[in-house]
Amino acid sequence: MHPAFSIVIFTTLSGLGYGLAAVLGLGLLDPAATATKIAHLLALALIATGLLSSTLHLGNPQRAWRALSQWRSSWLSREGVMALITFVPLAWSAWASLFDGRYLALPGLVGTLLCAVTVYCTAMIYASLRSVQAWHTPLTPLCYLMFSAAGGLVLASFFGFAGAGSTVLAPALAATFTAAAWIAKLFWRHRMRTLRPISTPETATGLGRIGRVRLFERPHINENYLTSEMGFKIARKHAAKLSAIAFLLGGAVPVLLLLVLPLAGVGAGPSASLIALLAACCHAAGVLMERWLFFAEARHSVTNYYGG
């Protein structure tokens, strides 16, 4: 599948934003601290940027509001509806922290729950497509949720070291969730690499009863919408390397950094904040690469008509 820049950015940023908002909703950070206030604003900004980015690939973005209407059948529509609803408790929580320095449990916990539901809807847009077998598994929403939670906790750790408290629990949880997210991803990737395609050129043409089917001539010489959108190919050796880099950058490095800080007994302070910020940046870069590969490596069943 073509890894459209706007979609890769959207799922990465909104995932991080919802993760951070969900952690804030649990009340782990000191609501009166300046760092927590900035965290609230950052979460909202990440979510909003992600959602705006997702409209960039639309052919007619001026009609995007229509996408809120088909929540009964469409995961994309559900995602849009949930994203809007989730803004209410998140904005409420942010308001309470920014102007009153208070943590409110009701909007906080409701916000956390809705963040999870929204990220789940985003993942289900892809997981519900049977035509892309690599995505069509419950492991897809699991990975999205885990990466979102991990990203939120890594960011929360940074804000914790920057003065919002929780310099032990947040980094410990961040390291745990980051490790768990990458373990889920390894399972996802192993499944993708080893699955037997349910659709083949034989089933796609119905000619399997006669024999083995091979494309002889394409319908047109040039690329078309289908081959550029669904027939994206990435060299296997590069995919393996990128995947390893993503794992190291997004998984190993932040886990190591975030474990070292509390274990070394480092409390809040500029140096700890910088290290936590480095962990957060590495995590985001790793997840961005993971998301790019999520699209680039997935194979659509239409490629059976175009010689694989």
Partner 1 sequence: MTLLPAQPTPKKLGLVIDLDVCVGCHACVVSCKEWNTGGYGSALSDQDPYGADVSGAWLNRVHTFEVIPEGGEIVGEAGEARIVHFPKSCLHCEDAPCVTVCPTGASYKRAEDGIVLVDENMCIGCGLCAWACPYGAREMDLAAGVMKKCTLCIDRIYNETIEEVDRVPSCVRTCPANARHYGDLADPTSAVSILVAERGGMDLMPEQGTLPVNKYLPPRPRKPLADSAHSLPLAENTDGAKGFFGWLDGVLERI
Is 64 near partner 1 (CB under 8 A)? Answer: yes
- Compute how many residues bind partner 1; rule: CB under 8 A: 59
Contacting residue, 106, 138, 193, 205, with partner 1 by CB under 8 A: 205
Is 220 near partner 1 (CB under 8 A)? Answer: yes
Nearer to partner 1, 85 or 302 (CB): 302
* Nearest partner of 229 among 298, 276, 134, 150, judged by Cα: 298
132: which strand partners?
Answer: 300
Contacting residue, 1, 22, 29, 287, with partner 1 by CB under 8 A: 1
* Nearest partner of 44 among 150, 177, 155, judged by Cα: 155
Is 263 near partner 1 (CB under 8 A)? Answer: no
Contacting residue, 19, 108, 111, 201, with partner 1 by CB under 8 A: 201
Choose the stretch contacting partner 1; rule: CB under 8 A; options: 9-17, 182-190, 216-224, 286-294. Answer: 216-224
Let me know: does 181 contact 143? Beta carbons within 8 Å: yes
Q: CA angle, corner 288, sides to 287 and 290, nearest 5?
A: 60
Q: Is 157 left (phi over 0), alpha (psi -120 to 50) or beta?
A: alpha
Q: Which residue is listed with tokens 């070394």?
A: 264
Q: Which amino acid is at 194?
A: T
* Nearest partner of 166 among 11, 10, 36, 19, judged by Cα: 36
Contacting residue, 66, 193, 233, 241, with partner 1 by CB under 8 A: 66
Is 300 near partner 1 (CB under 8 A)? Answer: yes
Contacting residue, 51, 132, 150, 282, with partner 1 by CB under 8 A: 132
Q: CA angle, corner 280, sides to 277 and 286, nearest 5?
A: 140
Is 131 near partner 1 (CB under 8 A)? Answer: yes
Q: Per residue in 85-95, is it b (16+ CB within 10 Å) or e — as a string?
A: ebbebbebbbe
| Smallest distance from partner 1 to CB 193, Å | 20
φ, ψ of residue 132 in degrees (nearest 5): -115, 95
| Smallest distance from partner 1 to CB 197, Å | 10
Is 168 near partner 1 (CB under 8 A)? Answer: no
Contacting residue, 49, 168, 229, 278, with partner 1 by CB under 8 A: 229
Contacting residue, 222, 235, 264, 265, with partner 1 by CB under 8 A: 222
Binding interface with partner 1 (CB under 8 A): 1, 57-61, 63-64, 66-70, 72-77, 80, 125, 128-132, 198-199, 201, 203-207, 209-220, 222-226, 229-230, 300-302, 304-306
